[in-house]
């Protein structure tokens, strides 16, 4: 038989066909992710278009009047509520989660680490509507009868803690968000802490540092961008969390300085009003709120990913 590649190409042709099909299928699946991203952007843009046209971008964002019956749509109370509750959540959850992550990776007694890690995983798996149920019937009454009166008598001179303590409001929503984003921040922080070169910590310990000193001087500085990334991921979750907030924030489209007052958040107003929105502009206004939310979480998540990738690569100078 002549050494023509006929036979080999025929066989290779068959497998090439298979290989090419498989490669093409994979690219289609990978492309599907991009298509989903595109669809999200396109749909949000299309659905919110009537609102942008009728109301105008700036007026929509800075107006604080929300009265669909009068066709008044202002996003400010929701943006304010989302920011305030997320700020409370981050202020509470970041120190707690970093402490928790340090406990799990460095400081805690070894026997306790596994059960605590398991508890955090369980916390992460609980559906948000159950958090809301717990918040509504456990956290809110506790805030109303115990925490808010105590805060008021201690710091009542601050505008933050004035007004009747009704339980439902910014404080309740912020605290429940803190509990919900805690597993995210602590598990990502834990991963980041694992990337800290052992030699750094051991070096500090070998020089006579106590465990805390090694963490403060060697571990935390190295892990800092990663911890910021973890906090941003948590913030993204807090901004978009819907059910638990809807159930405890009080759902009143007003702006109050007091943390005890009932407010509203972007996801909560969408959850409550979207199914009943009748006019194009009303649907559009709610979709516009979703677009704002989408944009903010997108930026936060992208920033968090970049920070975490930078940590995973390790610092250039070292």
Residues 247-276 that bind another protein (CB under 8 A): 247, 267, 270-271, 274-275
109 conformational bin, left if phi > 0, alpha if psi -120 to 50, beta if neither:
beta
Minimum CB–partner distance for residue 72 and another protein (Å): 21
Residues 282-301 that bind another protein (CB under 8 A): 286-287, 290, 293-294, 297-298, 300-301
Nearest to 62 by CA among 44, 82, 45, 79: 79
* SS3 at position 162: coil
DSSP 59-101: HHHH---EEGGGTEE--HHHHHHHHHHHHHHHHHHHHHHHHHH
Residues 160-189 that bind another protein (CB under 8 A): 179, 182-183, 186
Tell me if 158 contacts another protein by CB under 8 A: no
If you count them, how many residues does the chain have? 318
**Of the candidates 62, 130, 206, 207, which one interacts with another protein according to CB under 8 A?**
130
Residues 202-240: b if buried by 16+ CB within 10 A, e if exposed: eebeeeebeeeebbeebbeebbebbbbbbbbbbbbbbbb
Tell me if 116 contacts another protein by CB under 8 A: yes
Q: Rounded distance, CA 231 to CA 236, Å?
A: 9
Minimum CB–partner distance for residue 95 and another protein (Å): 8
User: Could you give the string, one character per residue 63-92, with x where binding to another protein holds by CB under 8 A and - elsewhere?
Assistant: -----------------------------x
**Of the candidates 95, 141, 197, 315, which one interacts with another protein according to CB under 8 A?**
95
Q: Rounded distance, CA 240 to CA 301, Å?
A: 12
- How much is the CA Rg of the chain, to the nearest whole Å? 25
For another protein, the closer of residues 158 and 206 by Cβ is 206
Minimum CB–partner distance for residue 90 and another protein (Å): 14
Looking at residue 208, what DSSP letter applies? Answer: T
**Of the candidates 57, 305, 312, 314, which one interacts with another protein according to CB under 8 A?**
305
**Of the candidates 7, 8, 13, 28, which one interacts with another protein according to CB under 8 A?**
28
For another protein, the closer of residues 169 and 258 by Cβ is 169
């Amino acid at each position: 038989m002549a050494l023509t590649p006929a036979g080999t190409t025929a066989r290779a042709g068959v497998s090439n066909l298979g290989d090419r099909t498989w490669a093409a299928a994979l690219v289609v699946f990978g492309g599907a992710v991009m298509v989903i991203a595109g669809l999200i952007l396109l749909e949000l843009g299309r659905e919110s278009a009537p609102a942008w046209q009728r109301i105008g971008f700036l007026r929509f964002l800075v107006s604080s009047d929300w009265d669909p019956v009068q066709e008044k749509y202002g996003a400010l109370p929701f943006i304010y509520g989302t920011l305030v509750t997320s700020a409370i959540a981050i202020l509470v959850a970041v120190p707690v989660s970093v402490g928790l992550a340090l406990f799990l990776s460095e400081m805690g007694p070894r026997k306790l680490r596994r059960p605590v890690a398991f508890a955090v995983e369980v916390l992460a798996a609980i559906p948000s509507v159950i958090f809301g149920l717990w918040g509504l019937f456990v956290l809110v009454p506790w805030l109303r009868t115990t925490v808010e009166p105590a805060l008021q008598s201690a710091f009542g001179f601050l505008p933050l803690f004035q007004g009747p303590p009704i339980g439902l409001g910014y404080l309740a929503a912020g605290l429940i968000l803190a509990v919900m984003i805690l597993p995210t921040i602590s598990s990502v922080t834990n991963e980041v802490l694992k990337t800290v070169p052992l030699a750094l910590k051991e070096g500090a310990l070998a020089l006579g540092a106590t465990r805390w000193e090694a963490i403060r001087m060697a571990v935390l500085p190295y892990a800092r961008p990663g911890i910021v990334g973890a906090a941003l991921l948590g913030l993204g979750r807090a901004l978009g969390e819907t059910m638990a907030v809807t159930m405890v924030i009080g759902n009143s489209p007003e702006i109050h300085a007091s943390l005890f007052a009932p407010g509203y958040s972007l996801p909560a107003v969408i959850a409550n009003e979207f199914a009943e929105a009748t006019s194009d502009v009303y649907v559009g206004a709610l979709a516009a709120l979703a677009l704002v939310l989408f944009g903010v979480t997108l930026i936060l998540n992208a920033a968090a990913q970049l920070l975490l990738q930078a940590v995973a690569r390790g610092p250039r100078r070292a």
